[in-house]
């Protein structure tokens, strides 16, 4: 019983990071697969709406493992939340809480603030910015960059690829600019 | 790096078919065989939730430099990945079905800068890269389905405009 209590607590970085790193050799050795998650979005396009665009005309069925993988990630998210949920409130830095309170965030109970991620926000300006606009940037940007945090930052850096280092630095710069410079303006809209 | 590619039988795809997470297994796998990847995905999703990597708050902390957590996660993942790749190359470890593990040297393209910056902006808003999007939906944040659909639309739009963008 003690083990399950331990598992329910938030996992420290030195447990989670190495486990994520092990995904690289696991996928390589069980099936010669290079780790990368944003490709799944491309395969979904290729499978559902190829629209005669050459970028989506390839044998997506050969890459279907990637869709199995992301389906697993979704199921894993469900299982962890249903059965291994942390009974306590998430602990984040006091400084971050103060900064977010200043922006108008009030709910610090779960993994995501209800102020933003409540379902009723979907049809509002907030929803448009945080879901539609943000999601579009994620999909468009990762494909233009040829990968995301997994494909570039983890798989690319693991194989010592300079282009992946450049891409990873750009991901970070974009994130810093959004959080430190643009978010205060965005929050003024609400 | 690009020079120590020892495998002569690297499959080369036409440029527009290059995939960043390719399947290099020669043998076709059945649906049952593909369930392996679902299981690995489940493990991965559990780690995402338990280490709070899917949390919008954790991403805010990271980009405000208020916590080491995310840097520790990504940094240690990269170190473990690097050591694993080094060992696979050094000892020429084969896959379960006996194939040589394939690595793909990436070419520098301007898209890695432009696209990388755009993705970073999106990461800062949504608090999610593509992997955590799936785990957030699984965790019950139903609204994130909109984010995922929009990310798919973004990917599709990139495919549409690809030839008109600097790549």
Residue A179, phi then psi, degrees to nearest 5: -70, -45
pLDDT of residue B15: 54
Instruction: State how far the Cα of A177 lies from the Cα of B57, in Å rounded to an integer.
Output: 16
pLDDT of residue B17: 57
Q: Which two tokens stand for residue B34?
A: 């593909």
Instruction: State how far the Cα of B51 lies from the Cα of B132, in Å rounded to an integer.
Output: 11
- In B48-91, the DSSP E strands lie at none
Q: Do A166 and B82 touch (CB under 8 A)?
A: no
CA dihedral B113→B119→B122→B127, nearest 10 degrees, is -120
pLDDT of residue B22: 87
Could you read off the pLDDT of B2-42 as tens digits, one per residue? 444 444 334 445 555 567 788 888 888 888 899 999 999 99
> pTM for this one?
0.93
**What percent of chain A is predicted at pLDDT more than 70?**
99
Could you read off the pLDDT of B48-107 as tens digits, one per residue? 999 999 999 999 999 999 999 999 999 999 999 999 999 999 999 999 999 999 999 999
Average pLDDT of the residues in A1-22:
94
Q: Do B38 and A141 touch (CB under 8 A)?
A: no
Q: Which two tokens stand for residue B79?
A: 């170190």
Beta bridge partners of B67: none
- What end-to-end distance do the CA atoms of chain A give, in Å? 46
Average pLDDT of the residues in B102-128:
96
ipTM: 0.96
Q: Do B158 and A143 touch (CB under 8 A)?
A: yes
Q: How confident is the model at residue A1 (pLDDT cuts 50, 70, 90)?
A: low
DSSP chain A: -HHHHHHHSPPPHHHHHHHHHHHHHHHHHHH-B---STHHHHHHHHHH--TT-GGG-S-GGGGHHHHHHHHHHHHHHHHHHHHS--SSPP---HHHHHHHHHHT----SSSS-HHHH-GGGGGSHHHIIIIIIHHHHHHHHHHHHT--IIIIIIIIHHTT-HHHHHHHHHHHHHHHIIIIIIHHHHHHT-
Nearest CA in chain B to A49: B156
Give the nearest partner residue to A138 out of B41, B84, B122, using CB atoms.
B122
Residues of A in contact with B159 (CB under 8 A): 42, 45, 53, 55-56, 143
Nearest CA in chain A to B26: A32
Q: Which two tokens stand for residue B16?
A: 């527009």
What own/partner pairs with CB < 8 Å and gap ≥ 24 does A114-123 have?
A116/B56, A117/B56, A117/B141, A117/B143, A117/B144, A118/B143, A119/B142, A119/B143, A121/B143, A122/B143, A122/B146
Residue of B23 and A170 predicted with greater confidence: A170
Could you read off the pLDDT of A106-143 as tens digits, one per residue? 999 999 999 999 999 999 999 999 999 999 999 999 99
Residues of A in contact with B50 (CB under 8 A): 7, 10-11, 16, 80, 84, 86
pLDDT of residue B11: 43
Question: Which positions 49-68 of B are in contact with A (Cβ < 8 Å)?
Answer: 49-64, 66-68
With a cut of 80, say whether residue A161 has pLDDT above it: yes
Q: Do B106 and A133 touch (CB under 8 A)?
A: no
A113 touches chain B (CB under 8 A): yes
> CB-based contacts of B3: which residues, under 8 Å, 6+ apart?
none
């Amino acid at each position: 019983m003690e083990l399950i209590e331990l598992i329910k607590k938030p996992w420290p970085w030195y447990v989670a990071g190495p486990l994520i790193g092990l995904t690289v050799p696991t996928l390589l050795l069980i099936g010669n697969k290079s780790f990368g998650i944003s490709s799944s979005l491309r395969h979904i396009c290729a499978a559902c709406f190829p629209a005669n665009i050459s970028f989506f005309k390839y044998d997506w069925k050969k890459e279907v493992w990637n869709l199995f993988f992301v389906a697993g990630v979704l199921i894993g998210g469900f299982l962890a939340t249903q059965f291994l949920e942390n009974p306590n409130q998430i602990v984040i830095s006091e400084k971050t809480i103060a900064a977010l309170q200043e922006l108008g965030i009030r709910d610090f109970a779960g993994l995501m603030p209800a102020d933003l991620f409540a379902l009723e926000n979907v049809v509002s300006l907030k929803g448009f910015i945080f879901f539609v606009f943000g999601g579009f940037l994620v999909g468009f940007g990762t494909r233009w960059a040829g990968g995301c945090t997994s494909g570039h930052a983890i798989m690319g850096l693991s194989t010592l690829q300079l282009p992946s280092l450049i891409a990873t630095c750009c991901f970070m710069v974009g994130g810093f600019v959004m959080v430190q410079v643009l978010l205060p303006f965005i929050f003024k809209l609400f | 790096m690009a020079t120590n590619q020892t495998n002569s039988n690297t499959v080369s795809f036409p440029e527009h078919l290059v995939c960043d997470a390719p399947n290099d297994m020669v043998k076709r796998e059945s649906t049952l065989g593909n369930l392996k990847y679902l299981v690995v995905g489940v493990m991965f999703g559990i780690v995402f939730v338990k280490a709070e990597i899917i949390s919008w708050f954790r991403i805010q902390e990271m980009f405000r430099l208020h916590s080491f957590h995310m840097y520790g996660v990504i940094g240690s993942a990269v170190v473990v990945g690097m050591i694993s790749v080094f060992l696979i190359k050094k000892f020429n470890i084969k896959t379960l079905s006996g194939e040589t593990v394939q690595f793909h040297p990436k070419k520098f393209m301007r898209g890695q800068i432009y696209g990388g910056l755009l993705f970073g902006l999106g990461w800062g808003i949504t608090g999610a890269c593509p992997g955590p999007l799936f785990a957030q939906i699984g965790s019950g944040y139903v609204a994130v389905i909109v984010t995922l659909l929009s990310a798919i639309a973004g990917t599709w739009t990139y495919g549409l405009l690809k030839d008109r963008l600097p790549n």
